[in-house]
Amino acid sequence: MVQIQDTILSDEIFEEHFLCDLTLCKGMCCVDGDSGAPITREEYEEIESILPVIKEYLPPAALKVIATKGIGYVDYDGELVTSLVEEGKECVFAYRDRKGICKCSIDTAYREGRVTVQKPISCHLYPIRITKYRDFIALNYHRWSVCRSAVAKGEEEGVPLYRFLKEPLIRRFGKEWYTELLVAAELKKAAESMEE
């Protein structure tokens, strides 16, 4: 494990490789799961404020869920999460493009410059999961079978997980924190090469 400021990072964040390939996985991380994507109260309010824009991307089933159940709920772990179209099925903000790839309406609207709200940080950081404790924040790699193609592509291209997630890590923890992470990665690599 590596400590950076008030965060503890698992070794896998430095050791694993990852590079999403939507043409292979079809965005299944927005579809499969036990509950919706974790969101903060602030994110909930931000998403509510941009609903008129993101609704334009959504299929009728998702619009019906939003109208009847809202955009989020508290799951069995007591965590605020996005609503699902069906239990164990896709996120209420997911839609399929012409190629059948599942995408996030929030992310699409943001990338098109239509909103200033980004997708939930839990989605942006995936496959890193954050757990908050009293004195520190833990960052762990979440291994999931739907991401096998991303792991394979990351290994093939030589992209470490922490480099793939540079943008969301900076978004969540800041540039100074990310610079410290890069230093820690180099020190870790140097220490491992000395052991060989």
Q: Quick check: 87 pLDDT over 70?
A: no
137, 151: one domain: yes
79 Cβ contact partners less than 8 Å away, ≥ 6 residues apart: 35, 38
- Same structural domain, 113 and 146: no
| Residue 33 pLDDT exceeds 80 | no
**Do 64 and 138 belong together in one domain?**
no
For residues 114 and 157, membership in a common domain is answered with: no
Q: What domain range includes position 133?
A: 1-18+127-196
- Report whether pLDDT(31) > 80: no
Are 120 and 33 in the same domain?
Answer: yes
103 in the same domain as 78: yes
The last residue of a domain, from among 93, 124, 155: 124
Number of domains in the chain: 2
Q: How far apart are CA 172 and CA 184, in angstroms?
A: 18
Percent of the chain with pLDDT over 70: 96
Answer yes or no: do 99 and 113 share one domain. Answer: yes
| The domain boundary residue, chosen from 74, 102, 124 | 124
118 and 140 belong to one structural domain: no
Q: What is the pTM of this model?
A: 0.86
Q: Looking at the structure, do residues 52 and 13 belong to the same domain, yes or no?
A: no
61, 94, 124 — which closes off a domain? 124
Is the pLDDT confidence value at 1 over 90? no
Top pLDDT among 143 and 53 is at 53
Both 104 and 39 in one domain: the answer is: yes
The verdict on 65 and 107 lying in the same domain is: yes
Query: Distance of CA 45 to CAs 9, 14, 165, Å?
Result: 29, 34, 25
Residues 152 and 65 in one domain: no
